Structure 1
């Protein structure tokens, strides 16, 4: 059975969607939920699901990114994951970290990549006058939000939408898309899934 580590920084809603999906199946198991934020809401949710949790607080490393990532790797590798899923992990990772898990790391991003890499994606889509927004699951590479896109889900941008309204409509699509793409990834499929 495949082993999945999930990295979070906040409430962990995508981690919960992934974990519940995995726990209901017989292909893979969540073996670690790791956060860089002590007290992140997702940690308690992971514990309630019976998933081992860990914290590597980036603030403990006095802006020494290499030391932070060395510790992250130690904790993650101890769980022996086959795949690492970034699920709202709000730290930019260096090529050293990414290369350690090359070909084994996925991320979910709240835009239709390649549009709107980085932050404030929903506001940027509204400001641009786009007709639709959505989310993407992609392989993680050294280019920020630049790896191969494996799945996308779309929602219309409606008149009167603001960032919060649009985000609230995209989030349930994230929760549907990420588990589906992970299943395909574990089965060796690398084609684009569109919802």
Structure 2
């Protein structure tokens, strides 16, 4: 089985990255993690990747004159790993349109809400403030709009009496760790594909 080559972008601890690495250790998993790139040299996730014998790299945007040069350097690293797909796992930078379009249909992200609800930051706090009874997470294709690409998979969790942003985040994160590897699996086997900026397409292999 030819496995899809996947690079992961992180900024911090990379718990979703770790879930993808663990999934890729299974012999029947259709993707392999070929590199982890961070915009922070001190990101704890880089150590996790290195302990799993995965190539790592770090690039600080502040070292470049502008975002275009930073993202061009990112592209060179990703291409050196011959990545077929890119997974964002807590990468805390808004990506430029040129970079996104270069990877359009091949770059995915996991967001801690049931999109299109609560795009952006502080999703758990905002859900509680609104009195939401249900929350969750969504894996979606990355498009130039913030958290705006077509959804691949989502998972729901109930909002419980007495929930705090932290307790709600913990339950959502457990679902993220389950959901992200499954979404990547579907993408790697061609079960789901990017169609346009609003829709995905689902294939049904015989």
Q: Which of 172, 175, 194 is the equivalent residue of 2:174?
A: 172
Q: Which runs of 4+ in 1 moved over 6 A?
A: none
Say whether 1:53 aligns with 2:70.
Answer: no
Deviations 1:16-70 (A, max 9, x none): 00011012134221000110011101000001111100001112125x1111111
User: CA separation in 1, counterparts of 2:187 and 2:71?
Assistant: 25
User: CA separation in 2, counterparts of 1:119 and 1:77?
Assistant: 30
User: CA separation in 2, counterparts of 1:4 and 1:145?
Assistant: 20
* TM-score between both structures, scaled by the size of structure 1: 0.95
Q: Which of 44, 47, 54 is the equivalent residue of 1:44?
A: 47
Alignment of 1:97-176 (within 5 A): 97-176=99-178
Q: Any idea what SS the aligned residue of 1:24 has? A: coil
RMSD of aligned C-alpha atoms?
Answer: 1.2
* TM-score between both structures, scaled by the size of structure 2: 0.90
Equivalent pair of 1:139/1:149 in contact (CA under 8 Å) = yes
Aligned length: 191
User: CA separation in 2, counterparts of 1:171 and 1:151?
Assistant: 15
Equivalent pair of 1:4/1:85 in contact (CA under 8 Å) = yes
Equivalent pair of 1:23/1:30 in contact (CA under 8 Å) = no
Alignment of 1:17-96 (within 5 A): 17-26=19-28, 27-62=30-65, 64-96=66-98
User: CA separation in 1, counterparts of 2:188 and 2:31?
Assistant: 8
